Amino acid sequence: MQRHLIAACAASLLAVAAGGAIAEGYGRGQPTGSNPAANGTTNVMTNVMGNTGTKMVGGAAMYPSKDIVDNAVNSKDHTTLVAAVKAAGLVDTLKSPGPFTVFAPTNNAFSMLPAGTVDTLLKPENKGTLTQVLTYHVVPGRVDAAALVSQIKAGGGKAMLKTASGGTLTASMRGNDVLIVDAKGNGAVVTTADVYQSNGVIHVVDKVLLPG
């Protein structure tokens, strides 16, 4: 019964991802006066991908002196993600020195999943599936805006990112949007980049990414 439940849950996640188009809109919430139309790698990094320093996410300041968990718990836009991290037993991992790069789905991203999917994933018997989904959003190392843009350029327009789950994410640019594409070819837009932490960096994304 447990095996069937996990399989059904995973199928629901994959089904919603398959039906979602890659959204536009990277740069929402960026500082007034940014110039998305600016040309050149430097302008892409500073105007499109964001600036360094303390940023506001979910109505709260994200302090570079705090770790990923201590910052995330204050974001009103990431309460579902925080609950999932706790249910998966990943709090200690994400509070460790790392460093980690986290593509952090918002509450709205999780709400796009089929009704009941999140509640099912949070059940103790589905901890393995939940852990696999969450660690697929984590890339070992600190991959900030500058590093990501450099990797995309060096890769001829694509950067392959190895996740903590053992899977791969593909980063690319379409216009001024940075896209993070999962194993099924479905993608998320980075809406806020370079939210620096003491043990890594967070890039906020508008979709839940799913492993193959």
Nearest to 190 by CA among 73, 199, 175: 175
pLDDT for the residue numbered 53: 63
In the structure encoding, which two tokens stand for residue 46, read together?
A: 């500073």
CATH number reported for the structural domain that contains residue 99 in this entry: 2.30.180.10
User: Does residue 96 lie within any of the structural domains?
Assistant: yes
User: Does residue 210 lie within any of the structural domains?
Assistant: no
Q: In a structure prediction context, what are the per-residue pLDDT tens digits for the chain, which is 212 residues long?
A: 334 333 444 444 433 333 333 333 334 433 323 333 333 333 344 334 444 568 899 989 999 999 999 999 999 999 999 999 999 999 999 999 999 999 999 999 999 988 888 999 999 999 999 999 999 999 999 999 889 989 999 999 999 999 999 999 999 998 888 899 999 888 999 999 999 999 999 999 999 998 88
Per the structure, the count of domains in the chain is 1
User: Does residue 163 lie within any of the structural domains?
Assistant: yes
User: Does residue 211 lie within any of the structural domains?
Assistant: no
Q: Are 55 and 72 in contact (CB under 8 A)?
A: no
What's the pTM? Answer: 0.77
User: Does residue 11 lie within any of the structural domains?
Assistant: yes
User: Does residue 60 lie within any of the structural domains?
Assistant: yes
pLDDT for the residue numbered 114: 83
User: Does residue 134 lie within any of the structural domains?
Assistant: yes
CB atoms within 10 A of CB 145: 21
Q: Are 211 and 138 in contact (CB under 8 A)?
A: no
Structural domain of 162: 2-205
pLDDT for the residue numbered 115: 87
Q: Are 103 and 209 in contact (CB under 8 A)?
A: yes
pLDDT for the residue numbered 35: 34
Distance CA 153, CA 9 (A): 37
User: Does residue 13 lie within any of the structural domains?
Assistant: yes
In the structure encoding, which two tokens stand for residue 49, read together?
A: 């991908």
Q: Are 173 and 44 in contact (CB under 8 A)?
A: yes
